[in-house]
Chains A and B, each alone.
Chain A
Amino acid sequence: MIKSNFVIELRKFGTILVSRPSGKEAWLAFQPTLKDVSDTEEVLVDFKDVLVLTPSWADEFLTPLRDRFNGRVKLINTDNASVKATLAILDKNRPIRPSTSRD
């Protein structure tokens, strides 16, 4: 069975994602949209066009996202240097499953 994907394009929150309050705001603002995710869908977080990411922002968005959709969150287009460095720090404490697929 082919699973469908629910894609979150982070660039739609901005390309410089650094502060804790903006990460928190992004998470809160996205709640109504997340209600549309079905139980069988995988949640793809797309980092395409993100120029700067910090753990402060990611802690407020990615961490609760992973908690909510545990095991179904996949990260794609994570080539940006600050994205890689941020994910490495987050993974040390709360591993997020990286995706092997690329768009």
Chain B
Amino acid sequence: MLNSLISIGEASKQLGTSIDTLRRWDTTNRLPSIRSGPRGHRFYRQADLDLFLRNESSLAKQWAMAPVGVPPSNDVYCQTRDVFQARLERLQHALQGKVSESAVSLLSAVAGEIGNNSFDHNLGNWPDVTGIYFSLDMRNRNIVLADRGQGVLATLKRVRPELNNAMEAVKVAFTEMVSGRFPEARGNGLKFVRSVIIENPFTLKFQTGDASLLLKEYDKDLPIVHVEEYIRGCIAIIGFEGSI
């Protein structure tokens, strides 16, 4: 849970540091704790630990799932497509020298397709927060994108009213030439994403609604599963741990 408190012992495990180090960081304000209970024990919020670790996928998921939408921090928030384009160029520079030239190009293209997809399908229809969450997590070697948009099912249902649930919608989105922006001729984006992921040492975790897809290199099928946690919009985590 976003606001549940975590003991100093659990926090030390998550951060891989000793309890003494956490006490020192608390004193120096590097990672402030929350004092609670009659003895004033130190506790931590999970969101604070995630922020400290910059665990982007967790932060983005919490942002996407929060019942009330508020813009995320400025460094990860792309309110408009122009901001996203500029940040995509920054991502490209940040990846250079860390992965191969072709991986830089492909990862940027996949992130570009997914991020622009959010704008394409929600323009003028954002339910609350306009724009997307976009971040590079070099420590965990992944790129995180999320939106609080309408989600794939709601968008595709306009052209495929027979779709019953998010799992069916994700399957259609990743396999068929179909667009929620009829009558525009389009719909290559997520098919492109799929082909790049399965032909390279990348992974993609994609969730919309209660449907989650985990795609990796050489996958022939689309492993879509039902999950309990619900995300109205979309979250995509592009992993490149295996790439050189």
For chain A, residues 28 to 83, give those with C-beta under 8 angstroms from any C-beta of chain B. 51-56, 59, 80-83
Please report the C-alpha to C-alpha distance between residue A88 and residue B106 in the assembled complex, in whole angstroms.
13
B186-A54 in contact (CB<8A): no
Please report the C-alpha to C-alpha distance between residue A53 and residue B103 in the assembled complex, in whole angstroms.
13
**Chain-A contact segment, one of B85-93, B164-172, B222-230:** B85-93
Interface residues on A, range: 20 to 34
Please report the C-alpha to C-alpha distance between residue A81 and residue B104 in the assembled complex, in whole angstroms.
9
Known A16-B112, A20-B120; contact A82-B106, beta-carbon cutoff 8 A: yes
Measured CB to CB, the closest approach of chain A to B27, in angstroms, equals 45
Interface of A is mostly: helix
Measured CB to CB, the closest approach of chain B to A88, in angstroms, equals 7
Known pairs A54-B109, A81-B101, A86-B109 / 6 extra A-B pairs, C-beta < 8 Å: A18-B109, A18-B112, A19-B119, A52-B105, A82-B105, A85-B196
Q: Which residues of B contact A16 (CB under 8 A)?
A: 85, 88-89, 92, 108, 112
Interface of B is mostly: helix
Measured CB to CB, the closest approach of chain A to B132, in angstroms, equals 13
Q: Which residues of A contact B120 (CB under 8 A)?
A: 20, 56
> Which 10 A-B pairs have CB atoms at the shortest separation, nearest pair first?
A18-B112, A81-B102, A55-B188, A82-B109, A82-B105, A52-B108, A81-B105, A89-B192, A19-B116, A55-B192
Measured CB to CB, the closest approach of chain B to A40, in angstroms, equals 30
B105-A51 in contact (CB<8A): yes
Q: Which residues of B contact A89 (CB under 8 A)?
A: 188, 191-192, 195
Chain A residues with CB under 8 Å of chain B are 16, 18-22, 51-56, 59, 80-83, 85-86, 88-90, 93
Please report the C-alpha to C-alpha distance between residue A16 and residue B116 in the assembled complex, in whole angstroms.
13
Q: Which chain A residue shows the least CB distance to B96?
A: A51
For chain B, residues 99 to 124, give those with C-beta under 8 angstroms from any C-beta of chain A. 101-106, 108-109, 112-113, 116, 119-120
Which of B109, B112, B192 has the most A CB atoms < 10 Å from its CB?
A: B109
A59-B92 in contact (CB<8A): no
Q: Which residues of A contact B103 (CB under 8 A)?
A: 81
Please report the C-alpha to C-alpha distance between residue A83 and residue B105 in the assembled complex, in whole angstroms.
9
A20-B186 in contact (CB<8A): yes
